[in-house]
Structure 1
Amino acid sequence: MRAAVLRAAAVPAPYAGSRPLSLEMVPVPEPRPGELLVRIARASLCHSDLSVINGSRIRPLPMALGHEATGVVEHVGDGVDDVRAGDHVVLVFVPSCGSCRACSAGRPALCYPGAESNGSGDLLHGPAVLRTPDGNRINHHLGVSAFADYAVVARESVVVIDDDVPFDIAAMFGCAALTGIGAVLNTAALREGQSVVVFGLGAVGLMAVMAAAQVPGTTVIAIDPLPAKQDMARRCGAHHAGAPDDAARLVGEATDGGADVVLEAVGSARVLEAGLQLLARGGALVSVGLPHPDQEITTQALQFAGMGRRLLGSYMGDAVPERDIPAYLDLWRQGVLPVELLHTDTRPIEDLNESLDALAEGRVVRRIFTLDK
């Protein structure tokens, strides 16, 4: 099978010239007990993939990238009795064990064994199964490695969906939808009549805009330096949109004393600091983007106890995938979440390297790749 493998990180832009991902032929791995073999139908390019390539997220190499995808189950390993060959599935980038401290508290996105296996490039139920033809290990990306014809994943890394959901739609629900929608509905728990500011209008930020707009009586303010992204946010339901320099003015005009929620989907410490200043008393700043580990924030400590403001981290939107993916797909079916607006185009997997620049420069929202030969 083909797999897009990264062998050197901290690759600078432009990416097309350096071609950091090599499409390699590797043996199709066999699922072990508790695992599945999935034929990948569509895989999306996400900023989290780019963060591994540019060195912002440190991962063990070589690694087969790709974590947002959908496909069809080809084969199930021993002990898997609730998923069958032929089932359509969305892949999820945090496999939850179901019994650790986080899972027991109802927060599977923070699963301890899932985080450990993701960080080491392994799978939840054992070591990496990807190999080069001569037997050398290739690490898994977030338990998925979806830029490939097939993926062996833990049963806990998939959610079964209805067969009639188009692959180009389903592909966006394993990361962008869970993260953006979940940040609004789960982490922030946005309530009727509240105001929300979304910084960063990539797929995650635009999913957050859609989710906020469907809560009755909300005021949604979308911020991004690119006019095209601002226009897209308005199509997704934002009431106001502008550049970062416009943020304070827009919040002042649209709210009474600041926003109830500010959601940061950029991955920037400076944006987090700016967002904190836009909050109303008692407001919540939700950190969704993944800044480089070297970035730090500096702020007046009194903002929290003195003004009742909260800083909330949101990983994978605090989602419960088995619950949330079907629920979000239902909202899409009802026309409440028009996620098809975010689908820029579908390209063959051979276009991956050229697409890295388009994503980094904001020229695409969700470019989806087909693995059809």
Structure 2
Amino acid sequence: MPFFRHMTAQSYSAVIRRYGEPLSVEEVEILEPDPGEVVVRIEASGVCHSDLSLARGYYPDIPIPIVPGHEGAGTVVEVGDDVTSVKKGDKVFTIWMASCYNCEYCLSGRFHLCENALESIVNASLPSGKLKIRDKAGNSIHHFTSTAALSSYTVVHEKNVVKLTVDVSLEKAAILGCAVLTGVGAALKTANVKEGSTVAVIGLGGVGMNIVQGARLAGAEKIIAIDIYDSKLEWATKFGATHLINALKEDPVEAVKKVGGGGVDYSFEATGNVVAMELAYKIAKRGGVVTIVGVEKGGVNIRIPALDLHMTEKTIKGCYYGSSSPRLDSLKYLRLYKAGKLLLDELVTRSYRLEEINEVFKDMEEGRIIRGVVVP
């Protein structure tokens, strides 16, 4: 029996119709894939802080209605013409950067900054510019980061999926597509943490925990985990944290100085909060590297003392997708997982049904989970 009837198929998706309001779970139609596109039955989807930020209105220029989600994993059930990288039945996970391999950034090896992929992300469409999701009234719905993975089925370009080549559960594979690539990449690639160095990580969600283990993989001597939840701090020890600071119970600046001898070589912010970003600057030592990974609201500015920046010669970096080559690095991190060097099982702290998507967001805001995974 063909998957598509009359050029559409049924699916269920979490939908944002108004920023700042609860999501609805709706029966929708997905359209047939065009050349180069595939349909994936989503069997697990990680929920990222970026999905929460989207729902709360942090990206008001992104059009709605929209289906969030970009950490999907599942099975290819249909392929369009000219698809060469996957076939029906393949197990895949999504990546949200469909690098074109032709623009200035791709040609210089900075695939995560692909300007053509960025255009479709901003437009919340597929790389073709088309929308392949419709509600029951026939109105089009946008695709967050061109993936729209908080669905039972999704249409994506083949560049937005990676075929699983090792034996790993789909729940674990799903979080490779953002949390692992961004967090581990922030430490290994964006900041380029050196062996024997001191590191501090502010914010211990899915990305923050991966920064911690990225610093461990880099050989950092001291890894200071900073959060406001004791449960997350305890979890951080599993990923490689050597020192723990609850920022509600002690002054984090003074506490870091005691551990790091005046500051750390590398500080990371992974909360999406400007106060934490400014804290990351304060706890870096002279000549230190400050890496901002979290996403704040548009229009919010970080306040950095100009004279101090001059006198300390600190470096401030932004981090986008862990400065990764998503397709290559995700498979590299999978090999590290299979070798027992990178933790994935411990990242997923709870599974949810799709209709519980608002509960996932609540648990994230209250610090109850590292990474929640939706099983549609």
Asked whether the two chains share a fold, i.e. TM above 0.5, the reply is yes
Unaligned runs of 5+ in 2: 1-10
TM-score (norm 2): 0.93
Specify the code of the residue in structure 1 equivalent to 2:59: R
In the aligned structure 2, how far is the partner of 1:90 from the partner of 1:39? 11
In structure 1, how many angstroms separate the alpha carbons of the residues matched to 2:252 and 2:339? 32
- C-alpha contact (below 8 Å) 1:221/1:250 kept by paired residues: no
Q: Give me the whole-angstrom Cα distance separating, in 2, the residues matched to 1:240 and 1:102.
A: 38
Distance 1:308 1:137 in 2: 50
Could you report, residue by residue, the CA deviation over 1:95-125 in whole angstroms, capped at 9, with x for unpaired residues? 2111112212211211111111111111112
Return the match for 1:89 from 75, 81, 92: 92
Report the counterpart of residue 36 of structure 2 in structure 1. 34
Aligned counterpart, 2:375: 370
Residue of structure 1 aligned with 2:349, choices 319, 344, 349: 344
Partner of 1:156: 159
Q: How does 1:48-87 map to 2 (within 5 A)?
A: 48-58=50-60, 59-87=62-90
Q: Aligned with 2:30: secondary structure?
A: coil
Conserved 8 A contact 1:71-1:167: yes
Give the equivalent residue in structure 2 for 1:15.
Answer: none
Specify every segment of 5 or more residues in structure 1 that has no aligned partner in the other structure, as ranges.
Answer: 12-19
**Distance in structure 1 (CA, Å) of the matches to 2:360 and 2:164:** 28
Matched residue SS, 2:85: coil
> May I ask how many residue pairs the two structures share in their alignment?
363
Larger deviation, residues 136-145 vs 340-349: 340-349
CA distance in 1, matches of 2:210, 2:278: 22
| 8 A Cα contact 1:159 1:321, kept in partner | no
Question: 1:171-229, CA deviations, whole angstroms, 9 ceiling, x for partnerless residues?
Answer: 11001001110100010011111111000001100011011112225210000011111
Check whether the contact 2:85–2:158 (CA below 8 A) recurs between aligned residues: no
Letter in 1 for 2:317: L
Give the alignment's Cα RMSD to 1 decimal. Answer: 1.4
Partner of 1:299: 304
Measure, in 2, the Cα distance between the counterparts of 1:76 and 1:98.
22
Superposition pairs for residues 105-254 of structure 1, below 5 Å?
105-162=108-165, 164-244=167-247, 245-254=250-259
Q: 1:212 to 1:26 in 2, by over 3 A?
A: same
- 3-state SS in 2 of match to 1:27: strand
SS class of match (1:124): coil
Partner-residue secondary structure (3-state), 2:218 = coil
Counterpart position of 1:9: 19
Correspondence for 1:310: 315
Deviations 1:140-167 (A, max 9, x none): 1111111111111111111111252111
**Matching residue of 1:16:** none
State the alpha-carbon separation in 1 of the partners of residues 304 and 251 from structure 2. 21
- Cα distance in structure 1, aligned partners of 2:43 and 2:239: 26
Q: Tell me the CA shift for residue 240 of structure 1.
A: 0.2
Contact 1:33 1:79 in 2 (8 A): yes
Describe the superposition over 1:256-288 as per-residue Cα deviations: whole angstroms up to 9, x where unpaired: 332111000011222221211211222110010
Report the Cα offset of residue 246 of structure 1.
4.0
Kept in 2: contact 1:36–1:77 (CA 8 A): yes
Task: Flag the 1:10–1:81 CA change in 2: closer, same or farther, 3 A.
Answer: same
Whole-angstrom CA distance in 2 between matches of 1:270 and 1:302: 20
Contact 1:10–1:56 at 8 Å: present in 2 too?
A: no
